[in-house]
Amino acid sequence: MLNFLRTSVLLAVLTAIFMAVGYFVGGTGGMWIAFIIAALTNLFAYWNSDKMVLRMQNAVEVDPRSQPDLYNTVEALSQRAGIPMPKLYVINTEQPNAFATGRNPQNAAVAVSAGLLRYLEPREVAAVVAHELAHIRSRDTLTMTMTATIAGAISMLAQFGLFFGGGNSRDNPLGPIGVLIAVIVAPIAAALVQMAVSRTREYEADKDGAEISGDPLGLASALNKISQLARQTVNVPAERNPAQAHMYIFNPLNGQRMDNLFSTHPNVENRIAQLQRLAGEMQVDRTGRRPAPQPAADDTVPRNTGGGWRVPSTGSSENGNSSRGPWG
């Protein structure tokens, strides 16, 4: 109920912004046209926003044949999360990052970047996937995908007024100046939409994802690597669609745009500190294991001393140490 109310309020605010831009572009008539467009956009976004977001981010669907290790990882973690296996996509960018989308757990998708698979260890990839599955389980993805779609529609409406000379309606008291205001307001509105997706959602997804994977320090390590590498790599699809930045586990914008003045994500150091505290509460060490219980005198049954689910190794070196992993 809380997620439904939050989504409804957010969409109402976006619809109001859309109507205001329509008013400045085309007066009262433009406002009502914008309202109709907003209503249709909301309806369309509910059913198709996930597909639009994946298309805008140049995500390519993968299956067990093309990405067997990644697929098995997501499948096992989905079972632990108690949700259906989502569709799986890979984004063609070297920036390590990931996001989830979809209107509900039955129609969800997880997208990870090629850079995430290349630069992160298997347990770190698993921890990131668990974070995204936590978003799906709590239905955060509906809010995130719809806001991204409607924010893009706001920008498109403002650009329409700029290039086609709107603002001449007698109902618009500001005339062409109103169009200029709309063009200026549109990117700011997109940034505000990103901020409207509460930062506490990321903290909750970190916490829930760590519980799903059983490895909070794996996620802490992943966030540390992502935060360092993401700033050095341009995520072209995200830069072209900044209104979708709030969907990623870490802000994909590289700091060269004004959009980054409005942070859509909590401070990464604070997120890591929370995960470290959670690891202490869960009694999980840096390898993702919990201390082995002391067996009773007559206890002859072997016990599993692992701390939650971990990505299985795909091989070992000659001296018996595990290899870096399927993506290393």
CA 176/CA 161 separation, integer angstroms: 9
Integer Rg of the chain from CA: 22
Other beta carbons within 10 angstroms of residue 125's beta carbon come to 27
Catalytic residue check, 132: yes
Do residues 57 and 111 touch, judged by C-beta distance below 8 A?
A: yes
The number of helices, as runs of H, and strands, as runs of E, in the chain is 10, 4
In whole angstroms, what is the distance from residue 93 CA to residue 119 CA?
A: 12
Burial of 291 (0-12, 13-18, 19+ CB in 10 A): exposed
Measured distance CA(227)–CA(249) in Å, rounded: 10
Residue 30: CB partners within 8 Å, gap ≥ 6? 22, 23, 24, 166, 169, 172
Q: Which of 61, 75, 132, 204 is catalytic?
A: 132
Residue 124 annotated as binding site: no
Distance, CA of 154 to CA of 17 (rounded, Å):
8
Helix (H) or strand (E) holding 111: strand 108-113
Q: Is 135 annotated as a binding residue?
A: yes
- Residue 277, CA distances (Å) to 66, 147, 207, 217, 271 in order: 37, 32, 10, 10, 10
Contact predicate 180/168, CB 8 Å:
no
Helix or strand or coil: residue 112? strand
Question: Which residues are annotated as catalytic?
Answer: 132
Which residues carry a binding-site annotation?
131, 135, 202
Which residues carry a binding-site annotation for Zn(2+)?
131, 135, 202
